[in-house]
Amino acid sequence: MNCLEERIAKDGIVREGNVLKVDNFLNHQMDVELFREMGLEWKKRFEGKNINKILTIEASGIGIAAVVALEFGVPVVFAKKSKSINIDGEFYSAEVESFTHKNVNNVIVSKKYLTEEDHVLIIDDFLANGCALQGLIRIVQSSGATVEGIGIAIEKGFQIGGKLIRNLGFQLESLAIVDGMDAATGSIQFREQ
């Protein structure tokens, strides 16, 4: 098990409805030393890739992306959620449906901070059905930049997102892939990597 899988096994809480709560260390309280170790692992997995920028989405991706960016020596851009449909020409935007909040957000990135010269690593905390991630990929592609890879902390392997993104040919590196959970016993099955 890697550092993240060990931590999920120790502190993750399984709730009914395939909910995995990791707010103790990942998305409310944040263990930044763990994020540094995750950064080192992604650095190994994306070795040889020419990455000059990290892209993430507010809010819970930002802390992971910022610490990981220190390891890569590159800046971060975070996509903002905007209720307004009335976005002017200064932004790339994509519509994203939230699995957790059951609503649709417009996600925007300023055209100043993504250009065709950028080689982007996308970082996020969770991957389930892949809606947020597809929105980020569309934004990178609109700008003419290149998606060099995608780093996800926790992938829900029993949902469609991971398969869909890998089928599109992207290098998707999820540090923990959860193939099953049992709320009654609290047990979590990780995919062998």
- Specify the residue, 100 or 167, whose C-beta has the smaller distance to a second copy: 100
What's the chain's Rg over C-alpha atoms? 16
- Specify the residue, 29 or 189, whose C-beta has the smaller distance to a second copy: 29
DSSP state of 192: P
Does 133 help bind a second copy (rule: CB under 8 A)?
no
Report the C-alpha gap between 56 and 77 in whole angstroms: 6
Does 78 help bind a second copy (rule: CB under 8 A)?
yes
CA angle 20, 164, 2 (to 5 degrees): 45
Does 117 help bind a second copy (rule: CB under 8 A)?
no
Report the C-alpha gap between 46 and 73 in whole angstroms: 14
Region binding a second copy by CB under 8 A among candidate stretches 2-10, 18-26, 123-131, 145-153: 18-26
Instruction: Please identify which residue in 2, 29, 189, 193 interacts with a second copy, judged by CB under 8 A.
Output: 29
Does 69 help bind a second copy (rule: CB under 8 A)?
yes
Region binding a second copy by CB under 8 A among candidate stretches 1-9, 61-69, 92-100, 177-185: 61-69
Please provide the distance, in angstroms rounded to a whole number, between the alpha carbons at the two ends of the chain: 9
CA angle 105, 93, 35 (to 5 degrees): 75
Q: Supply φ then ψ for residue 164, to 5 degrees.
A: -60, -45
Cβ atoms of 140 and 163 closer than 8 Å: no
- What is the nearest approach in angstroms of a second copy to the Cβ of residue 106? 15
What are 119's two structure tokens? 């080689």
Instruction: Please identify which residue in 3, 11, 18, 31 interacts with a second copy, judged by CB under 8 A.
Output: 31
Instruction: Please identify which residue in 15, 28, 45, 163 interacts with a second copy, judged by CB under 8 A.
Output: 28
Does 24 help bind a second copy (rule: CB under 8 A)?
yes
Closest among 181, 169, 165 to 130, alpha carbons compared: 165
Does 58 help bind a second copy (rule: CB under 8 A)?
yes
User: Which residues of this protein are in contact with a second copy, per CB under 8 A?
Assistant: 23-25, 28-33, 35-36, 58-59, 62-67, 69-70, 73, 75-78, 80, 109-110, 112-113
